[in-house]
Structure 1
Amino acid sequence: MTISLSSNIGRIVMLNRWSDDFAAYHRYIDHAVHDVAYVCTPNAAAALRASRIAHIEQLSEFDDEDALHAAVRACRSALDGIDRLVALSEFELMAAARLHNSFSIPGDLPDAVVRFHDKAVMKHAIAAAGLRVPRFAALENLTSPDAEPINTTRFPLIAKPRTGAASVGVRRVDTEAQFNALLPTLPLVECECEEYIEGTIYHVDGFVVDRAFVIARASRYINTCLEFARGKPLGSVMLDPGPLNDALLAFADPSLRALALVNGPFHLEIIRGPDALYFLEIGARMGRGRSLSCFAICTVLTCSPCGSRSGQVTRHVSRSKYERRSPHRRCARGRFLMLPETVGKVFIDAQSPKGIAALCETVLPKQNHVFNGAGGYDTILARFRYRGGTEHEIAAAIHATLRDSRFTLAKVATLATFKRNLARPEFAVKPSILASHKALRLL
């Protein structure tokens, strides 16, 4: 993706929590032309690679919004004003909206962002537009005096934070007794519950300009984000053109209109239930878990300068009616596979699979990295990226990767012994110290 910003957008503040290649802003914004300041954690600041950075403010964390406002105020002073403030993480979208409001920076304000941030609000908007959503309720409403009893709702239920991401805090509840035991432990005003819909989960990623698709691509999850949070691999495969692909894009179009997305990226998740498609949730951002990098490698998207009168967009995309056809080539399929942390283990080594033509990138942790359960989608056992000609080719490559990958791990308690003895020729690696971890058990 190549974006040329208008020259009158000269002073930009980036809120960056990422310490991997998601922090490669220099690939997309010309730091020699624009004055770019960053608000980062220390690890995120170390990941920046731009040759010229106007100013950096470091925070220990982004959760302290008073400190965040003070950091942006310091950036405004250093830049002599702010023309744009950019936040790409789900966790900073609402804070960025409040910063737009506080500092009079152009951009989405809280009343717009809440439709893409609060799961109860977004589902109300989708249901009001006549689109299918799982039956849902804000937990605070379930405890009101005039609320219907929970036994009128079908189980299982999914209980989740209304403004969460990455399946953090999401729970499946199978019985009324389980629900009644869970309810007192939850902050009711911050949570919702929804009917569990059995079916495959898909996602549609794309970009809209003036409420119209510039690009939209539908993909199928292998396993779910919730299963990934519980220790199973998570994969994604772009769909081939066809009826299902078109049905998902046709569902996405009115969903975005119901939520009044005018300009920007989106990541929409949809359940294909036994009887119909159901809205799951949406973010006004690109998907995580390497969705963005996979989207970019399979789609050439070049936007004209912001502020130009033509607003023309050149794109080479697939043959869906929602995407303009390229006369020169067929768009590739792709997506990713992520293997979750092995909490309590230490990464020693890996044997990457050989002979998988569609596998184009493998990312592994640093040697001796300790998996502590805080890796999320970022610091995990392994991630793989794929590019191929068909949906079947990508799916087969993902299954082959799971079958053939091998990892050597140590228990945290045995790492010190391992490192002390590693140089001794008589030392033999024992199964009690190291284990060969196979990445199978996809389904």
Structure 2
Amino acid sequence: MTTNKHAPRSRIVVLNRWSDGFAAYHRYIDHATNNVAYICTPNGAAALDASQTAHVEELADILDEDALHKAMSSCQSALGGIDRLIALSEFDLLKAARLRNSFNIPGDLPDTVVRFRDKTAMKHTVAAAGLRVPRVAALEDVAFAKANSSPVMRFPIMVKPRTGAAGLDVPRIDTRARLDMLWPTLPLVEYECEEYIEGPVYHVDGFVRDDTWVIARASRYINNRLQFAQGKPLGSVMLDPGPLNDAVLEFAAACLKALALSNGPFHLEIIGACDGFYFLDVGARVGSGEIPFLFHELYGVDLFDLWVTHQSGDEARYAARAQAALIASTSITRGGFLMLPEPVGKIFVDAQLPNTIPGLYEAVLPARRHLFNGSSCSGNILARFRYRGASEEEVDRAIRATLRDFRYTLAESVGSPNSSTHDITLRKTLRLLQQ
């Protein structure tokens, strides 16, 4: 624990789980005019500029809510009170809401946040507003486990953690026999099942202020996040202005209204089925992966800046940032991304990317001899690409050219995944990535 004394102005606590560039909160909070404390893991603490912080609480496990509560009490004592609590990871939003409730801090509280973390609750809320959602049930409410029971929906179904994210740990179940095998392994209170809806998946990302779009972009996936978790590439292309774009945005706005999201960022996913749009999922947070980079690089809009400014209670700065984003939202530029999944257990040797793909402006590759250790973080995937263009077609064409022409070399490793060096025993032949 470290403590530096500053004259307090606004007393802010940041709940930080990041240890990379996302931990540079000084970009968004003036540490000279505010008294800022952090609660984080040791790795998260190492990423901070300690000279600018008023107080730091290090926790071995940021998921331990009893430890979090004690850390908040320590921050409250060190700061002489707490005016605001900032949390940016989707996995921390509900914990932060409960802490605000306990310490009487303004901001999003549990009754609001639970609609964006509990998939069963969010779908019931959207359905109550008369919008299409897949039929859904909490597993604890379903009688699948009984010997002669009838399922409440037809197969295939999706079995999901109620508070999961990014398609992680989401199996598709096609038969009753497969469900019977899976059933004993699941903590029923933590899972839901929902009917599988066939159709293209769209996502809408942006920011809303006082129930009004500040900036929003509708995109269509190439593959989807569930397929990405299963080892396939994931691409995304922003839709051109037109009837489809307008319809996706209109449906997204209706979903956000049903969920009462009036201020903040969002990442919302929609299925385009043969009988209309279905609400799939939503996070009251900045979209992950390449999404925040696209907004910043294409439009000059830092969604994290908007979100932190809103959470910190700096109304003047928030209004100015929102107005700038609203002006930027009129841009006709379209963009997209491609992410290639992690080849777990392999070593990155090299890659060759043609420099003749129009619209491809950023490619992020691992360092040579990087071991893919299965950490599932975005910085540990095989490759990330970002694109810009004047139209949806241009961006789509560039993504498919990358899928066709990007070549890379991997190698096997010998030794423990935890060792600091790895011997290359088999250099694979140069391979062409296939979608």
- Please name the residue that 1:25 is paired with: 25
- Please name the residue that 2:86 is paired with: 86
- Please name the residue that 1:306 is paired with: 314
Could you tell me how far 1:337 is from its partner in structure 2? 1.4
Q: Are the aligned partners of 2:202 and 2:272 in contact in 1 as well (CA < 8 Å)?
A: yes
Could you tell me how far 1:172 is from its partner in structure 2? 0.2
- Please name the residue that 1:201 is paired with: 201
Residue deviations 1:267-325 (CA, integer Å, cap 9, x gap): 1100111221100010110111121121222234487983349946424669xxxx964
Superposition pairs for residues 97-116 of structure 1, below 5 Å? 97-116=97-116
Q: Are the aligned partners of 1:19 and 1:46 in contact in 2 as well (CA < 8 Å)?
A: yes
Q: Are the aligned partners of 2:143 and 2:151 in contact in 1 as well (CA < 8 Å)?
A: no
Q: Are the aligned partners of 2:333 and 2:389 in contact in 1 as well (CA < 8 Å)?
A: yes
Q: Are the aligned partners of 2:145 and 2:180 in contact in 1 as well (CA < 8 Å)?
A: no
Q: Are the aligned partners of 1:205 and 1:286 in contact in 2 as well (CA < 8 Å)?
A: yes
State the distance in 2 between where 1:145 and 1:346 align: 43
- Please name the residue that 1:433 is paired with: 426
The alpha-carbon distance between structure 1 residues 137 and 276, as it changes in their structure 2 partners (threshold 3 A), is same
State the distance in 1 between where 2:98 and 2:422 align: 52
* Larger deviation, residues 154-163 vs 355-364: 355-364
Tell me, yes or no, if structure 1 residue 366 matches structure 2 residue 374.
Answer: no
What residue identity is the alignment partner of 2:296?
A
SS at match of 2:66: helix
State the distance in 1 between where 2:31 and 2:317 align: 24
The alpha-carbon distance between structure 1 residues 403 and 317, as it changes in their structure 2 partners (threshold 3 A), is farther
Q: Are the aligned partners of 1:9 and 1:83 in contact in 2 as well (CA < 8 Å)?
A: no
What residue identity is the alignment partner of 2:203?
H
What residue identity is the alignment partner of 1:364?
L
SS at match of 2:218: strand
Superposition pairs for residues 152-167 of structure 1, below 5 Å? 152-167=152-167
What residue identity is the alignment partner of 2:90?
E
- Please name the residue that 1:130 is paired with: 130
State the distance in 2 between where 1:110 and 1:391 align: 39
Residue deviations 1:88-124 (CA, integer Å, cap 9, x gap): 1111111111111112111111111000000000000
Note the residue ranges of structure 2 that are not aligned, 5 or more in a row. 1-6
Superposition pairs for residues 163-174 of structure 1, below 5 Å? 163-174=163-174
Percent pairwise identity: 58
TM-score (normalised: structure 1) = 0.86
What residue identity is the alignment partner of 1:386?
Y
Q: Are the aligned partners of 1:166 and 1:376 in contact in 2 as well (CA < 8 Å)?
A: no
* Larger deviation, residues 276-285 vs 211-220: 211-220
SS at match of 1:314: helix
The alpha-carbon distance between structure 1 residues 8 and 277, as it changes in their structure 2 partners (threshold 3 A), is farther
* Larger deviation, residues 113-122 vs 178-187: 178-187
Note the residue ranges of structure 1 that are not aligned, 5 or more in a row. 1-6, 422-428
SS at match of 1:235: strand
Tell me, yes or no, if structure 1 residue 346 matches structure 2 residue 339.
Answer: no
* Larger deviation, residues 308-317 vs 236-245: 308-317
* Larger deviation, residues 187-196 vs 13-22: 13-22
- Please name the residue that 1:61 is paired with: 61
Could you tell me how far 1:401 is from its partner in structure 2? 2.1
* Larger deviation, residues 352-361 vs 380-389: 352-361
Q: Are the aligned partners of 1:317 and 1:331 in contact in 2 as well (CA < 8 Å)?
A: no
Could you tell me how far 1:350 is from its partner in structure 2? 2.8
Could you tell me how far 1:187 is from its partner in structure 2? 0.9
SS at match of 1:378: helix
SS at match of 1:433: strand
Q: Are the aligned partners of 1:298 and 1:332 in contact in 2 as well (CA < 8 Å)?
A: yes
- Please name the residue that 1:425 is paired with: none
SS at match of 1:371: coil
Query: What's the RMSD between the two structures over aligned residues?
Result: 3.1
Q: Are the aligned partners of 2:42 and 2:58 in contact in 1 as well (CA < 8 Å)?
A: yes
Residue deviations 1:176-229 (CA, integer Å, cap 9, x gap): 121122222211111111111111111111111112211211011111111111
* Larger deviation, residues 193-202 vs 40-49: 40-49
* Larger deviation, residues 354-363 vs 185-194: 354-363
Superposition pairs for residues 202-351 of structure 1, below 5 Å? 202-301=202-301, 306-308=314-316, 311=319, 313-315=322-324, 325=330, 330-351=331-352
- Please name the residue that 1:121 is paired with: 121
